[in-house]
Amino acid sequence: MAKDTAKGNSNKQKQAIVGLVMMVLIIIGINILTSYFHTGLDLTKEKRFTLSAPTKKLLNNMQEVAVIDVYLKGKFPAKFQRMQEAVEERLRSFKEYAGNKVVFRFIDPLEGKNEKEQKQIVHDLEQKGIMYLTMSSKEDEDYSMKIFFPYALVQYNGHEMPVLLLENPPNKTAEEKISYSEALLEYKFAYAINILSKPARPKVAYVVGNGEMSDIHTYDMLLNTLPYYYDLDTVNVNNVLHISLAYDAIIVNQPTEKFTGPQKLKLDQYVMKGGHVLWVVNNLKAALDSFANTPQFIAMEYGLELDDLLFKYGVRVNNDLVEDKQCAPLARTNNGQVDVKDWIYFPRLNPIADHPIVRNLDFILGGFTNSIDTILAPGIKKTILLQTSKYSRTSTAPVRVSLSMMNYAMPEKMFDKSYKPVAVLLEGKFLSAFNNRLAGDYLKDLESINEKFKPKCDSETSMIVVSVGNIFRNEYSTKQGVMPIGYYPYSNEFFENRSFLLNCLEYLTDKSGVLEARSKEVKLRLLDGGRVKDEKNMWQMVNVGIPIVLVLVFASAYMFFRKRRYENK
């Protein structure tokens, strides 16, 4: 009997050991599988962590392997640690659809390197567009400054592109900036893969010939910003027979001289053949430079003669000036003192449209601005991208603009023309403004040079009409040099004008739809600070106590049922 009992105990011990080993192997196996297969359940209301359909399509159609080096590795404060985890989560979701076509790794480029090697690495990364930031780091009892790189480098199709992971939008708290950056991760990585997958970059032409802005105030747009993303060219509309469709889009930026019939015909036929146009049209001659020798001036019409063209496409840029209570300040010298007051002619435009071009953008700064009316145009879809605030109004040309207006606080009831459109997206099959207007002999002359007149578009195309003055202008001073688009020196603020420019051109030139990923809604759900302070001890007890109680309950139940099981035997 004793031998049987001992033998039984020995078998039970072996079974227990085998069971324990099997459990360990199962746990290890599950961990190995989860490292290869990643899935998750997105319970957020705005579906922030669910990839958009264009991104999924892009990843499913990848032909090459994308290697992504993420430079966020090491010990970071909590907010950067959160960003690091968000990047890994997003790249894992990319692998769900791309499989082994996406390979990523987190590296610290300076780890294990001496001072000389670190300087060389920093220089090499800067050449690739990867800049470092500094943060305070505590080692033992000492604090020191540590540099880090909030970037990733995407290598695909024989090319590479840096991706900025940490955005720094103005007027946002640190928590909001992290949340905003997280929401843009899908778009940024998808955009990089999409751009690198193309055999050539999109081509964009800057149209000149009618007094368009082309001085030092376009330096940031034409020499810094656009060449980074596009093959940029300049086209003089007077020197070409037609505008080539090799250009994915053209920009007509604040012309100041009258357009002739042949010039408009070239622009019109470019659209009829499927071309895309970013129009920045301001009908009134108004600029701060006009205050150089006088405290007031009269804003007069340029006489651009573009009304018939834009009217046919579905909009009318009015000969007026927008005045908005939601505006930027202007600084002027008054009796030796610098006086900074609101300037109603420089509206702060808050994009609220539910469209990828402007979704999640912060304020955009407008200069002297006209309003836009939308006109009935069959088959044309119109989307208002930018509009004035609730407290705005318009003054029809000629308009007297005086610095003395800054001295008087005008009541809100005077601003009774709310939400005036100032930027409109037009999409559809446009009709030519020259249909049935050209003489037969002229049409024959066009055919003789292989330029057949098209009365309407064969396929859908798009254009964006903006009446916001100086929207893509950069400021310049002898002290600071060329300032970036959107920087307003009078209030030392950064506006989203540059992002608006890039979003407009991306929407016009890229049909992959990746821009849709940029429109994910950003909602920061913060805890109630008052309740956190008042209920701190209670929630600490709940978070610590409940897990302990659950473990004790589970252990007691396990011991109870185990005891009953062996008592019955």
Look at the alpha carbons of 52, 55, 59, 65 in this order and tell me if their dihedral is positive or negative: negative
Q: What are phi and psi of 151, to 5 degrees?
A: -135, 165
DSSP string, 468-495: -TTTT---EETTTEEPPTTEETTTTEE-
Question: Averaged over 434-454, what is the pLDDT?
Answer: 80
Structural domain contains residue 40: no
Question: Averaged over 448-452, what is the pLDDT?
Answer: 77
Query: pLDDT at residue 290 above 90?
Result: no
Span 293-306, pLDDT tens digits: 888 889 999 999 99
Q: Which of 501, 519, 537 represents a domain boundary (last residue)? A: 519
Contacts of 428 (CB under 8 A, 6+ apart): 377, 379, 380, 381, 457, 460, 461
216 and 150 in a single domain? The answer is: no
Provide the token pair at 402: 């005086």
Query: pLDDT at residue 230 above 80?
Result: yes
With cut-offs at 50, 70 and 90, classify the pLDDT of residue 565. Answer: low
Query: pLDDT at residue 543 above 70?
Result: yes
107 and 138 in a single domain? The answer is: yes
pLDDT, position 8:
58
Torsion, Cα 225 211 257 420, to 10 degrees, reads 20
Q: Which of 162, 196, 230 represents a domain boundary (last residue)? A: 196
Structural domain contains residue 565: no
Of the listed ranges 246-255, 345-354, 424-433, the one predicted with least confidence: 345-354
216 and 169 in a single domain? The answer is: no
Buried b / exposed e along 533-551 (16+ C-beta atoms within 10 A): eeeeeeeeeeeeeeeeeee
237 and 271 in a single domain? The answer is: yes
Query: Which amino acid would we find at residue 16?
Result: A
DSSP string, 168-197: --TT--HHHHHHHHHHTHHHHHHHHHHHHH
Structural domain contains residue 262: yes
How much is the mean pLDDT over the chain?
85
Question: Averaged over 447-453, what is the pLDDT?
Answer: 79
221 and 158 in a single domain? The answer is: no
Distance between CA atoms of residues 202 and 514, nearest Å: 15
Distance between CA atoms of residues 394 and 484, nearest Å: 29
Please report, rounded to a whole number, the percentage of residues in the chain having pLDDT higher than 70: 84
Question: Averaged over 255-281, what is the pLDDT?
Answer: 95
Query: pLDDT at residue 527 above 60?
Result: no
Structural domain for 372, as ranges? 203-519
Span 338-359, pLDDT tens digits: 567 888 999 999 888 889 999 8
Distance between CA atoms of residues 152 and 101, nearest Å: 17
151 and 222 in a single domain? The answer is: no
User: For residue 506, which of 517, 514, 497 has the smallest C-alpha distance?
Assistant: 514
Distance between CA atoms of residues 317 and 281, nearest Å: 8
358 and 228 in a single domain? The answer is: yes
Between 317 and 84, the higher pLDDT residue: 317
Question: Averaged over 487-491, what is the pLDDT?
Answer: 87
Judged by DSSP in three states, 520 sits in: coil
Between 265 and 563, the higher pLDDT residue: 265
Query: pLDDT at residue 376 above 70?
Result: yes
Structural domain total, the chain: 2
347 and 232 in a single domain? The answer is: yes
Structural domain contains residue 84: yes
368 and 436 in a single domain? The answer is: yes
CATH at 61: 3.40.30
Query: pLDDT at residue 387 above 90?
Result: yes
Question: Averaged over 42-69, what is the pLDDT?
Answer: 81
CA–CA distances in Å: residue 358 to residues 303, 355, 469, 511: 30, 6, 18, 17
Structural domain contains residue 542: no
Span 100-109, pLDDT tens digits: 999 999 998 8
For the chain, state the CA radius of gyration.
31
Structural domain contains residue 454: yes
Query: pLDDT at residue 386 above 90?
Result: yes
Between 478 and 139, the higher pLDDT residue: 478
Torsion, Cα 41 46 49 53, to 10 degrees, reads 100
288 and 387 in a single domain? The answer is: yes
Distance between CA atoms of residues 325 and 414, nearest Å: 10
Distance between CA atoms of residues 276 and 461, nearest Å: 6
Query: pLDDT at residue 117 above 60?
Result: yes
With cut-offs at 50, 70 and 90, classify the pLDDT of residue 552. Answer: confident
Structural domain contains residue 413: yes
Question: Counting every residue, how long is the chain?
Answer: 569
Query: pLDDT at residue 194 above 70?
Result: yes
Judged by DSSP in three states, 337 sits in: strand
pLDDT, position 16:
61
pLDDT, position 278:
98
Query: pLDDT at residue 118 above 90?
Result: no
CATH at 414: 3.40.50
With cut-offs at 50, 70 and 90, classify the pLDDT of residue 34. Answer: low
Question: Averaged over 413-441, what is the pLDDT?
Answer: 91
158 and 294 in a single domain? The answer is: no
Between 339 and 463, the higher pLDDT residue: 463
With cut-offs at 50, 70 and 90, classify the pLDDT of residue 232. Answer: very high
The alpha carbon of residue 528 and the mean position of all alpha carbons in its chain are separated, in whole angstroms, by 30
Q: CB–CB of 114/125 below 8 Å?
A: no
Query: pLDDT at residue 255 above 70?
Result: yes
Q: CB–CB of 306/271 below 8 Å?
A: no
Between 33 and 353, the higher pLDDT residue: 353
Q: Which of 176, 196, 216 represents a domain boundary (last residue)? A: 196
Question: Averaged over 179-193, what is the pLDDT?
Answer: 89
Q: CB–CB of 349/365 below 8 Å?
A: yes
250 and 217 in a single domain? The answer is: yes
Query: pLDDT at residue 326 above 80?
Result: yes
Q: What are phi and psi of 316, to 5 degrees?
A: -135, 125
With cut-offs at 50, 70 and 90, classify the pLDDT of residue 403. Answer: confident
Between 142 and 308, the higher pLDDT residue: 308
Question: Averaged over 397-409, what is the pLDDT?
Answer: 85
pLDDT, position 11:
64
Q: Parallel, antiparallel, or unpaired for β 203-208 and 249-253?
A: parallel
Distance between CA atoms of residues 141 and 129, nearest Å: 35
Q: What are phi and psi of 112, to 5 degrees?
A: 75, 10
Structural domain contains residue 16: no
Judged by DSSP in three states, 59 sits in: helix
Question: Averaged over 521-530, what is the pLDDT?
Answer: 54
Distance between CA atoms of residues 286 and 279, nearest Å: 18
Between 568 and 164, the higher pLDDT residue: 164
With cut-offs at 50, 70 and 90, classify the pLDDT of residue 45. Answer: low
